[in-house]
Amino acid sequence: MPLFNYTGYKPDGSGTTGVIEADGIQDAASGVRALGIYPKDIRPHTDKREWKLRKNEAALLPVMTRQLSTLLSAGVPLLEALKSLSDESTGFWKTMLINIRENVSGGASLSRALEAEKKIFPDFYINMVAAGEQSGRISIVLENLSAFLEKQEAMRSKIRTALIYPLFMTAVGFVVLSFLFTFVLPKIVRIFENTKSALPLITRVLIVISTVFVNYWWLLLALAVALYYGFRKYRKTHQGTLDSLKLKLPGNLLQSLYYGRFARTTGFLLDGGLPLLRALELSAKSLGNSMLQHRIIDAAKMVAEGSRLSTALAGFPSVLVQLIATGEKSGTLAEVLSRAADSYEAEFERRVQKALSLLEPMMILLMGVIVGAIVLAVLLPMFQLNQLIK
C-alpha cells in the first residue's frame, strides 16, 4: 500500500508531520483526521533513491500508455482502466496512478489529472491527451503517443549503445595506464635514477609521470572531481555556447539528430490535432538544444504574424525547408514532416556508425602510441647503459 507524507496541526494548534499508509490521498486525509490531526498538506512519500529512479522509470511510460489505450479501445471505462493499471504497478507508478484515478473520479479530466505529474508526463503528452478528449479519440491518441514514445526510446537506446564501446575502451585504457604508472614503472625507474648518465627526454618525462601517479594520486583525484563539477557549473551558465558547439561537430553528427527530432515531434503533434503554433512551441522544448530552440520560437513568432513556416525557418537545411513548403502547399505538412524525420533519423544512424568505425582504429592507434612511448622510454636508457659497459 502506498505511503504519504503529511503535515498538519494537532488539537492544541502545534504543527506536526508524519507518514501514513493509505490507498490514496483521500484515504490518507481521512486517516490523518482519525489520528486527531487537521491535515494541511498530503503528498506521496518518495525517498531520495526513488526520486533518482524516476528518470529510468520514465522508460515505462510508453508501456503504460499502450496498455491504457488498449483498455479504452476495448470499451473499458477510464476509471476501471486506471484501477487495472494501478493494481499491476508497484512503487512510485502505483501511487501516481492511484492519484490520477482519484483526481479523475473527483471530476477532473484525464489531461488535468496528468498535469499534477509533470515530472513524468511531458507537456506535449498532456496537450495531446487534451486534444484527444476534445475530439473523442482518446484511445487513438494514446496509441499514437505510445508509438511516438517507443520511437524516442528506441533512438535513445541506440545512442546509449553506440557510446558503450568508446566509454569501455577509455575506461580500460585508463585503468591499464594507471596500473603501469603506479605499480610497474616505479620499479623500473629506480634502475635509471641510480645511474649518473644523462637520461633521454622521453625517459625523464616518464619518471615525472610515474612520480606524480605514485606520490600525488590524491591530487589527480581532486583535480578530476574539480573538473567534473566545474564542467557541470559551466554547462549551467554557458549552455548556449555548448549547444552551439554541438551544431559544429565534424560531419554535422548531431544536426541530423536535432532536425529529425524537430520534424518527428512537430509532425506528430500536428497529426494529433494541435495548432501549428502550439506544436512549434512544444517541439522546440523537446529538441535538447537551446540554440535551435530559440530559432524555432522565433519562427513561431513569424508564423503568428502571418509568415509561412517554410519562410520562417530560413537558415534550416534547404531540403527540410523545401519539404515543409511542399507540405504546406499540398496540405500534408504532418505527413511530410514524418517522412523527413525518418530520413534524418536514418542519416543520424549512418553517421554514428561511420564515426564509430573511425573511432575504433583511432583509439587502438592511440593506445599503441602510448604503449610504444613507454617501451621506448624504458629501452633507450638500457641501450645507453649497454654502450657504456662495452
Q: Which residues pair with 44 in a beta bridge?
A: 4
The secondary element (H helix, E strand) that includes residue 224 is helix 217-237
Cα gap 348→260, rounded to integer Å: 8
CATH annotation of 60-147: 1.20.81.30
The secondary element (H helix, E strand) that includes residue 4 is strand 3-9
175 — phi, psi (to 5°)? Answer: -65, -45
Provide the pLDDT for residue 302: 92
Q: Which residues pair with 17 in a beta bridge?
A: 7
Domain chopping of the chain, boundaries? 3-45, 60-147
Provide the pLDDT for residue 226: 93
What Å distances lie between residue 272 and 100, 266, 300, CA to CA? 23, 10, 18
Cα gap 266→63, rounded to integer Å: 22
Q: How long is the chain?
A: 390
What Å distances lie between residue 92 and 49, 55, 169, 202, 238, CA to CA? 11, 12, 36, 58, 34
Three-state SS at 253? coil
Provide the pLDDT for residue 53: 46
Provide the pLDDT for residue 49: 43
Provide the pLDDT for residue 212: 84
4 — phi, psi (to 5°)? Answer: -135, 135
Burial of 151 (0-12, 13-18, 19+ CB in 10 A): middle
Cα gap 260→302, rounded to integer Å: 22
Cα gap 292→374, rounded to integer Å: 46
Q: Which residues of the chain have pLDDT under 70?
A: 1-3, 19, 21, 23, 45-59, 192-197, 251, 385-390
Residues 6+ apart with CB under 8 A from 87: none
CA proximity to 142, closest of 68, 56, 194: 68
Burial of 58 (0-12, 13-18, 19+ CB in 10 A): middle
- Give the rounded distance of the alpha carbon of 190 from its chain centre: 48
CA proximity to 355, closest of 256, 261, 287: 256
Cα gap 232→238, rounded to integer Å: 10
Which amino acid is residue 156, in one-letter code? R
Grid coordinates in use for 232?
Answer: 557541470
Provide the pLDDT for residue 86: 86
Q: How many CA atoms lie within 13 A of 330 on its CB side?
A: 12
pLDDT in tens, 106-149: 888 888 888 888 778 888 888 888 888 887 788 888 888 888 88
38-44 vs 15-21, strand pairing mode: unpaired
187-217 in b/e form (b: 16+ CB < 10 A) is ebbeebeeeeeebbeebeebbebbeebeeee
